[in-house]
A and B are shown apart, each in its own frame.
Chain A
Amino acid sequence: MSVLASLLTALPLSVADPRKGFGDTLEKPEEIFHSKCVIGSGTFCINRTGILLFIVFAVLAVILIATTSRPKLVPTGWQNGVEAIYDFIRRDIVLGVIGPDGERFAPYLASLFLFTFMASLIEVIPGLQFPVTSRMALPALLAIISWLIYNYAGIRAKGLWGYLKGIMFPPGVPKPLYVIVTPIEFAAALILRPFTLAIRLFANFFAGHLLLVVAFVGSSYLFLGNPATKAFFALTLIGGILGVGLEIFIAAVQAYVFALLTAAYIRLSTVEEH
């Protein structure tokens, strides 16, 4: 037992310089998310995140235009898959949450789902391996668009005053309690909703990317770094591979949740209280 304990305490000392042996191939910790400029410099800098964003956009555009520009009555192959995804979003999210009135939001919700999913899935595609959604800018932009859309839908359905009244004065509350309820509801509906939409997506992929980086860099270090640690690298490698599967699942779930919550907010702002 004491031998094991001394071995475990000795390990960190023997790996005191974790970057030795990797040379310049390994990114510094601060470069994992703030990658270097590839094109341009200063304000007009396009780094890896920007390039990956364009790749996601181009791949989605090519797939969607190629499969739906000449639709066949009986879909085959790619058209079948794309139509299945669109049908799932329309049936499950649009009709299931908003109802028949939400038909005109179906294109936005479908593109939101597909774009979020692809921008997150790029985390596990070999060679690219960086989730664009782990930088705060993209989730924040998507959340702002969703915020504008559900406010617009609410104001269009009930008028400006009716919409604000629906948010700030929920019916069935005793009059004195409005002192507490009104600020909370106002902040929850107009500030916390877009905020949490963005943070949820960002936090999931920030943490997920960090998890995969630690697992794979750690296991390659354990393999290359020190003969004593070679026995342990299989454990972290298996953990990392399981983590890849987990990240694919999380990418699908978070894209679904983002679209579902946008639909729910549209419904909450348009529905009439009885």
Chain B
Amino acid sequence: MPHIVWLVLGVLAAIKGSVSMIGYGLSAIGPGIGIGIMVGKTVEGQARQPEMAARLQTTMILGIAFTDVLALIGFVGLFIAG
């Protein structure tokens, strides 16, 4: 077990470049999953009830805009942390 710890520490010590890039990648996971679920459900709703398609699409874009806030904050964090 200690070997693994040393290995991980060694890898971490060897990482060069901007670690905040990893932070941006992590912050993009959640919104990615959320937007995927939302678009999928909207497509489902549009297939079930095509006459509601336009309203569902507007609501979907609003929902996407509220969801991708986290990824955008991560993007700004990338620039602030350098």
Q: Are B72 and A196 in contact (CB under 8 A)?
A: yes
Residues of A within 8 A of B58 (CB): 92, 96-97, 260
Closest chain A CB from B39 CB (angstroms): 13
Chain B contact residue count (CB 8 A cutoff): 12
How far is it, in angstroms, between the C-alpha of A257 and the C-alpha of B75 when the chains are bound? 19
**In the complex with contacts A92-B58, A96-B58, A97-B58, A257-B76 CB distance below 8 A:** no
Pairwise interchain contact B68-A200, C-beta atoms closer than 8 A: yes
- Tell whether A214 is near chain B: CB-to-CB under 8 Å: no
Majority-rule SS of A interface residues: helix
Q: A192-B69, A196-B69, A200-B68 are in contact. Are A260 and B75 (CB under 8 A)?
A: no
Per-residue 0/1 for B16-36: is the Cβ within 8 Å of any A Cβ (1 yes, 0 no)? Answer: 000000000000000000000
Asked whether any CB of chain A lies closer than 8 Å to the CB of B53, the reply is no
Shortest Cβ distance from A34 into chain B, in angstroms? Answer: 14
Which residues of A sit under 8 angstroms from B55, Cβ to Cβ? Answer: 96
B62 within 8 A of A: yes
Check A53 for interface membership: any CB of B closer than 8 A. Answer: no
Cross-chain contact A260 with B62 (CB below 8 angstroms): yes
Determine how close the nearest CB of chain B comes to the CB of A32; give it in whole angstroms. 15
B62 touches A261 (CB 8 A): yes
| Residue B65 interfacial (CB < 8 Å) | yes
In the assembled complex, which residues on chain A have CB atoms less than 8 Å from the CB atom of B62?
260-261, 264
Question: Assuming A196-B73, A199-B73, what are 17 further A-B pairs, CB within 8 angstroms?
Answer: A92-B58, A97-B58, A196-B65, A196-B69, A196-B72, A199-B72, A199-B75, A200-B68, A200-B72, A203-B72, A203-B75, A256-B61, A257-B61, A260-B58, A260-B61, A261-B65, A264-B65
Residue numbers of B with Cβ under 8 A of A are: 54-55, 58, 61-62, 65, 68-69, 72-73, 75-76
